[in-house]
Structure 1
């Protein structure tokens, strides 16, 4: 009797299991099982200081709370990102229907003679899953989704396509402005023997060179070759800025030495006169460079930001290039013009040395700031309820952007499919941040296992 009941019992058990397996494969149920209902854990606005409160604080205390307000903005953005449809949409790009459950959901007709035809033999079978592309996934047509381009503190600037167009336009406008200014300053240098104007001419020539370098690096970056450069050539931008900063420093060292030579050589003690046309050209340079700065500073790109910094240098440079010769003429002091050339050279050398050192740190893999790591840790902590522990969060510079490595602990009973989809979804969400270039998520089952790499 017992043996005779076993087949019957097995059939009844199969009838009971089929609906439950199908229900578990429901995309919403899978999302809730792996990620859960991620409501914000903290009321961040409680800790924000108002502008009036900040104004009444002492400088050191005010700086501390300004940093706190900036962190609050980032945490609120992470909350809005994780509570949006992005994590759910990422999980839904993976095929939630396993081969074992296909006959239960999509029964094969008795007229089918070949049971191994796969999806073609299933009436109304779903299409194959869409290939996962982050550029597509992040364009979420949902009013609840945050605007990635408006990310607070994240460095995002809209889609990659729009950013590339803006960068290219900024480079072309800068190239046109620098070409016109170079021609005008050559004319000024011919009309006068001022060392301050000579320093300004050298600066204009280097501006033209800097724009050419930026244009070259941008063009090379756009030409992708996944075999020679699997992750792209985005680091050409900071390399180009570093090369240009070295050229600037070397060039103005020479200008500074020439100015010092005029100060100590008696034969060159003559007052320099600026003609009205020369003054007009120099003033027009200040106006054009101010407009270039206002345009370039809004573009979040290292090369364009370098052009913005160079535009600020030009505004200061050209202002004092006019001021020193004019004061020397009015006060009849011959040494003011040479002194102006030396001081302007020292200013440029100091400014570009700082920019060059910053890019050296970024290119050599400097660690991310503490605030950046805190934001990344908070994102990993809040992402999914299936994450039992976070053993390591490591972020370091890869040029302008960050490489992020996260080690998370999952339940060892969680299947390979769910573990993979959860880890890769976390990777894509981290990479949606504007400051992140690439993210790597390592899955573990025990928090006592050593995290990291061999070296």
Structure 2
């Protein structure tokens, strides 16, 4: 039976006019032909090797996008619209009061166009590893060990959820360890006037403060309030890190100033660490090393950050012991002050860079060229019905990117089809782990006036 003008078959079943199968998308490239193996890279000179290492990284990201587009995800997104288009859309009653969290939806349509009774796709980076209705992982490893593997920089395989008990236990164990070790370092600083130990004490106190800041921001982010914070409070995390980095730099600047004053003073007394002091500092190194060994096997991004912090503390506290000990046995009065100054300078430089990076991201810095190329490739391959990509802007408003894409479609395309295409592209863009929110604007002409008032004023 012929298709009617409304786009339905005679039997009443909806027909997808934007089927995202292999024929509806632009073909993929054979990226493996450009891949360089480790053996080939070792034979190259450094500048050429760096170029091909960057090329390999881009190839891995392009293959990730290919796997994403060739999976059932785009097709299932469009099917959500097709299965819900026959259902009447009844607007919800407008209320000035916030509805309760456990209130029933009453069959209303969700913002993505699918009814609440239908099983919808979880659009999170972690769930892309196994798309619903598929038995094999989306990002399965390649058979060739030397070949390219799909990968996005900054993406972690969180096989353990943040709400799992093992993650909570790891956080509380690290918190308890920081409290105990802070008390031990306070006892050491009473027994000795070592500036290297003072730097370690300040580092321990700020470690405890960082744990409190991360715990507080995590709980605030988890409390979603779509009325007061429509897009969530995910930017609290980089803001918390920025506040902590400023505190870190300020505190260690004071420690560095104290070390500088000690070196310029006439006091040339040699600092001696007693057995109790050495025992407490050595136990700090051992406990932090055990925390690192345990946390690094838990596949969760938050716990992995704790593992990295523990590894840094092992090195920091180890040198806090070495500087005064070597100064005592080598009879070098200035080595303890110099050690404290070097440790402070290391922390200041490290956290000043972290602070600058977060300020840059929070003020709307542009994405890198490689990040834009990956998003442009995804948009280009998404559907053959996209005649032209008029523009693509990617910029930071926090740790992740906001993406604005302007695409050109045929002016005779039905409104329903253009809507389904644009919103499906939006969801697939937001499925890329580096993207927070995406906005897709459909146009029928290849040229358009600036889309924002500030752009027109310029």
TM-score by length of 1: 0.81
Aligned to 2:111: none
Which residue of 2 is the match for residue 338 of structure 1?
337
* Contact 1:48–1:72 (8 Å) recurs in 2: yes
Larger Rg: 1
Partner Cα distance (1:451, 1:145) in 2: 42
User: Partner of 2:354 in structure 1?
Assistant: 355
Q: Which residue of 1 aligns with 2:132?
A: 140
Cα deviations by residue, 1:300-353 (Å, 9 ceiling, x for unpaired): 75x767656644542332122111111111111111111111111111111110
Q: 2:80 aligns with which of 89, 93, 104?
A: 93
| Map of 2:409 onto structure 1 | 410
Q: Is the 8 A contact 2:408 2:446 kept in 1?
A: yes
Q: Which residue of 2 aligns with 1:376?
A: 375
Q: Does 1:212 align with 2:212?
A: yes
SS of equivalent to 2:408: strand
Match of 2:418 in 1: 419
Give the CA deviation at 1:57: 1.2
Which residue is 2:258 aligned to? 258
1:269-320 CA distances to partner (integer Å, 9 max, x unpaired)? 211111233223323323433454563698775x767656644542332122
Secondary structure, in 3 states, of the residue corresponding to 2:447? coil
Aligned pairs (5 A) from 1:130-279: 130=118, 134-135=122-123, 139-143=131-135, 146-147=138-139, 152-157=151-156, 162-165=161-164, 168=168, 170-266=170-266, 268-279=267-278
Q: Is the 8 A contact 2:365 2:395 kept in 1?
A: yes
CA distance in 2, matches of 1:17, 1:74: 40
Counterpart of 2:61? 74
With over 3 angstroms needed to count, the CA separation of the structure-2 counterparts of 1:191 and 1:448, relative to structure 1, is same
The answer to whether the aligner puts 1:367 opposite 2:359 as a matched pair is: no
Cα RMSD, aligned residues only: 3.2
The one-character-per-residue Cα deviations of 1:209-246 (angstroms, maximum 9, x if unpaired) are 11111111111111111111111111111111111111
Residues 1:33 and 1:131: Cα distance change in structure 2 (over 3 Å)? closer
Taking the TM superposition and a 5 Å limit, the aligned residue runs for 1:381-396 are: 381-396=380-395
- Aligned 8 A contact 1:86 1:145 in 2: no
1:61 matches 2:48: yes
CA distance in 1, matches of 2:227, 2:309: 35
Match of 1:48 in 2: 35
Q: Measure how far apart 1:171 and its partner are.
A: 3.4
Question: Is the alpha carbon distance of 1:249 and 1:279 closer, same or farther for their aligned partners in structure 2, counting shifts above 3 Å?
Answer: same
1:38 to 1:250, Cα distance in 2 relative to 1, 3 A = same
Sort the Cα spacing of 1:154 and 1:439 in 2 relative to 1 into closer, same or farther, 3 A: farther
SS at match of 2:9: helix
Shift of the 328–256 alpha-carbon distance from structure 1 to 2, 3 Å rule, reads same
Alpha-carbon distance between aligned partners in 1 of 2:3 and 2:347, rounded to the nearest angstrom = 75
Kindly tell me: are residues 338 and 238 of structure 1, through their superposed partners in 2, closer, same or farther at Cα, counting changes over 3 Å? same
Residues matched between the structures, number = 413
In 1, Cα distance between equivalents of 2:451 and 2:140: 30
Structure with greater helix percent:
1
Q: Which runs of 5+ in 1 are unaligned?
A: 1-14, 101-126
